Amino acid sequence: MSSSVDKVSQKVADIKLGFSKSTKNNKSKGKGKSNKNQVVEDDDEDDFEKALELAMQLDAQKLAQKKADDVPVVEEEEKKVEEKIELQYDPISTFYPDGNYPQGEVVDYKDDNLYRTTDEEKRALDREKNNKWNEFRKGAEIHRRVRKLAKDEIKPGMSMIEIAELIENAVRGYSGEDGLKGGMGFPCGLSLNHCAAHYSPNANDKLVLNYEDVMKVDFGVHVNGHIIDSAFTLTFDDKYDDLLKAVKDATNTGIHEAGIDVRLTDIGEAIQEVMESYEVTLDGETYQVKPIKNLCGHNIGQYRIHGGKSVPIVKNFDNTKMEEGETFAIETFGSTGRGHVIGQGECSHYAKNPDAPANAISSIRVNRAKQLLKTIDENFGTLPFCRRYIDRLGEEKYLLALNQLVKSGVVSDYPPLVDVKGSYTAQYEHTILLRPNVKEVVSRGEDY
């Protein structure tokens, strides 16, 4: 653009110079014959008109160039607006106006429970609880859509806060709720590498996702306290593929073995056998994939992420059985390290303790702690939350009060869980419904 403007400018200058010389020469010669003089004047006028026309073209091109220079700014502003628009999500109910949400993967029971599939009494009992199952399915459909968004949008170089807010805002948007009626059922965990669970960025966290990282994306969605707890592992380097394959296979084994009247230890034994059959080679070193023995799945109660039963991922001789009507999170964790985690680092995950001693609340004396507990009760109840969720509510300078609630036993803290530094861990998790007549892997999707 600039070179063409310069050429036009030079041409205008040349014509103006020629016009000036022509006029000067004409004046020095005198009037001469009238017809000849008229021709000279006409030529001068033509040159002047050409100069004027080119000058106008020059002005037009300069104006166009100025507008072009302004375009990036305009486009950048439009891009920002588009990004803001993309962050708006229609409630999932608008996609299902009849209020019926898709079932997950339905699996018939086996062995002694095979009769349940066609038993009329069990089928009738299942229909009576359809509203409950439907709320789980609504949460599962939200989870599927959000994790697809996450897989499409998450890239190396993003901060942990950007990633967490991408996921959490999508959950809130699709839920159309943010509180006790619906929304986040479990804080967005983004544990990296040797950290296996319970890491979510706190405010001012500067951690950034790198290409070489192994990130566990673990978040929950709830509808009226019915929680979908599901997780996957995200990597960009295919050298980790065998680690992810091992853990995914182990989780699916646990899902296959789970069912009414099944002993928890038997599920753990099957998971352990599958996971330990895998090896992964990283940078020339070969590692057996180890189940993280002190992490496990769990049953889920209404507004309670851990309902009291634990599903081991190794044989542990717990003969407790799964029962009809229960909901379980079947999750497994694999590691290239010791296969054992400890709590370490700044805590982000908390939950009000539903089993707190009766005198725990009455023992709280500090008004700020009482005020914070009121905020927790009104917004989370016994659902897990993280510190950023408290920040969103406008609470400030609450850490001392929060620690007092933890010390009193009213609130439990769940710090990050880490294996040995330098190791890599992976996780996969699904929520299953032990319906009276069938088992439903309600959070199952095309991705995992």
* CB neighbour list of residue 163: distance below 8 Å, 6 or more residues apart: 150, 154, 188, 190, 209
Report pTM: 0.81
* Distance in angstroms (rounded) separating the CA atoms of residues 196 and 342: 10
Residue 39 corresponds to which amino acid?
A: V
Which of 324, 329, 331 shows the shortest CA–CA distance to 434?
Answer: 324
* CB neighbour list of residue 444: distance below 8 Å, 6 or more residues apart: 104, 105, 430
End-to-end CA distance of the chain: 53
pLDDT value, residue 212:
98
pLDDT value, residue 62:
57
Beta strand ranges found along 312-400 (DSSP E): 327-335, 342-343, 349-352, 385-386
Active-site choice (126, 168, 331, 419): 331
* Distance in angstroms (rounded) separating the CA atoms of residues 163 and 153: 9
| DSSP assignment string, 282-316 | ETTEEEE-EE-TT--EEE-BTTBS--S-EE-SS--
- Please tell me the number of Cα atoms within 13 Å of 363 on its side-chain side: 12
Tokens of 393: 């509510």
Active-site choice (143, 198, 226, 306): 306
Backbone angles phi, psi at 192, to 5 degrees: -110, 135
256 is annotated as an active-site residue = no
pLDDT value, residue 180:
97
- The H helix count followed by the E strand count for the chain is 10, 18
Distance of CA 415 to the CA centre of its chain: 20
226 is annotated as an active-site residue = no
**Residue 208 DSSP label:** B
Active-site choice (298, 349, 419, 440): 298
pLDDT value, residue 100:
97
* Distance in angstroms (rounded) separating the CA atoms of residues 23 and 46: 13
| Residue count of the chain | 448
Residue 404 corresponds to which amino acid?
A: Q
CB-neighbour burial class of residue 175 (10 A; exposed 0-12, middle 13-18, buried 19+): buried
Backbone angles phi, psi at 59, to 5 degrees: -60, -40
The 10s digit of each residue's pLDDT in 30-73 is 434 444 344 344 444 455 555 556 655 665 565 556 545 554 44
Q: Mark out the alpha helices in 88-159 (DSSP H runs).
A: 120-128, 130-153
Active-site choice (242, 257, 429, 440): 429
* CB neighbour list of residue 400: distance below 8 Å, 6 or more residues apart: 368
Q: Which residues lie across from 440 on neighbouring strands?
A: 106, 433
pLDDT value, residue 52:
53
Could you tell me if 138 and 101 are in contact, meaning their C-beta atoms sit under 8 angstroms apart?
A: yes
Active-site choice (126, 135, 168, 229): 229
Could you tell me if 370 and 364 are in contact, meaning their C-beta atoms sit under 8 angstroms apart?
A: yes
**Pairing relation of β-strands 279-282 and 349-352?**
unpaired
Tokens of 234: 């995200």
pLDDT value, residue 65:
60
pLDDT value, residue 280:
98
* Distance in angstroms (rounded) separating the CA atoms of residues 91 and 112: 42
241 is annotated as an active-site residue = no
340 is annotated as an active-site residue = no
For the chain, list residues with pLDDT below 50: 2-5, 7-9, 11-13, 15-45, 67, 71-85
Active-site choice (126, 135, 141, 218): 218
